[in-house]
Structure 1
Amino acid sequence: MYLDNAFPRYNIFNKELILPNKVDQRFISSCILRIINNKTRSKDKLRLLQIIKKIEENSGESVILGCTDLPLLISQKDTSSRIIDSCKILEESTVSILKQNINF
């Protein structure tokens, strides 16, 4: 689900967010549901890579995999676009917080 007004805080980084078009957004949502239900199709990955390519062609510098399920299908090795993996960020942040609380 994409909310057009959910991203204004990124303006503090002087970055413009390029969202997939509505058709691609619906596909991504459907694809996420298929990942969750372990029913992905081979064409799902190809279509996601096409969407990433469109963003790249629209001057996108990076692609945020904002759903933690998407890295199960797409990884950095699949594309030349810089992938920002929300699952990896969550993992690293959790470890960092735990280390601070445990005083490693």
Structure 2
Amino acid sequence: MQQKTIGLLGGIGWASTAEYYRIISELVVQREGDAHSARIVLQSMDQFDFTSRADDPPAIVAFLAEQVARLQAGGADFFLFCANGAHRFAPALLPLVELPFLSIVDATAARVQASGLRKVALLGVKQTMAGRFYHDRLAAHGIDTVTPSAADQERIHAIIYDELVHNRMNAASRQVFCEIIAGLARQGAQGCILGCTEIPLLVRQDDVDIPVFDTTRIHCEAAVALALGG
């Protein structure tokens, strides 16, 4: 039986938030049977409320703290960001909230470590690829991280925000991602972290030749394990 209610902080963007709801629900049914469904509290923010504060980190942190408080008031026992990039604000946010936090970065790093790979590529929004929150956590597990060139980071970032967050899937954009991943594999990447929760909507394991780590599914699996007690 589900022992804890899952709190989802979504909306950046809505397409991957919908995937969280679907995947978590399917996983709970798989484990508990058709008579069950997942207990979830969803706080879906307006993406503009988040992105419009992009140049003011204290304002974003304060805004996120308000959203987490709403999840807690709704009965959530722990919470997740339905996004990767927002995790860069976790160090400043967590001291301000009471609700336990389940990190997509920690869950993904543990999965990569379990795979035995020691060098992986990282794709995501620019703040994820250029930031340190994934690199440092992976390094703590003895894993090296490689990222695309600055030009390719711009291309990836644009596709995410212009297409994927709006649930627009384009075959030409999929080819861009596949070519970038192939290039990183030639640089020694043994696998690739799809470090934006919208990327798995476009790129699947069958599209590329190296293992991919679907951070959305990894995070959902960790949430269900925690909610069901293992």
Coarse TM-score class (shorter-chain normalised): 0.7 to 0.9
CA contact (8 A) 1:20 1:55 kept: yes
Instruction: Give 1:41 shift.
Output: 2.9
Identify the residue that residue 48 of structure 1 maps to in structure 2.
Answer: 177
Which amino acid in the other structure matches residue 14 of structure 1?
A: G
Alpha-carbon distance in 2 for matches of 1:70, 1:90: 14
Partner secondary structure for residue 146 of structure 2:
coil
User: RCO (CA 8 Å, sep 6+): is it higher in 1 or 2?
Assistant: 2
Q: How well do the aligned residues superpose, as a CA RMSD in angstroms?
A: 1.5
TM-score (norm 1): 0.88
Identify the residue that residue 208 of structure 2 maps to in structure 1.
Answer: 79
Alpha-carbon distance in 2 for matches of 1:9, 1:48: 24
1:61-72 matches, cutoff 5 A: 61-72=190-201
Which 10-residue stretch deviates more, 16-25 or 32-41? 32-41
Alpha-carbon distance in 2 for matches of 1:84, 1:39: 21
Number of corresponding residues: 101
CA contact (8 A) 1:31 1:40 kept: no
Identify the residue that residue 72 of structure 2 maps to in structure 1.
Answer: none
**Which structure 1 residue ranges, 5 or more long, are not aligned?**
none
Q: Percent identity?
A: 23
Instruction: Give 1:9 shift.
Output: 2.6
**Per residue, is there more strand in 1 or in 2?**
2
Which amino acid in the other structure matches residue 32 of structure 1?
A: I
Query: Which structure has the larger Rg?
Result: 2
Identify the residue that residue 151 of structure 2 maps to in structure 1.
Answer: 23
1:9-20 matches, cutoff 5 A: 9-20=137-148
Instruction: Give 1:4 shift.
Output: 4.2
TM-score (norm 2): 0.42
Identify the residue that residue 3 of structure 1 maps to in structure 2.
Answer: 130
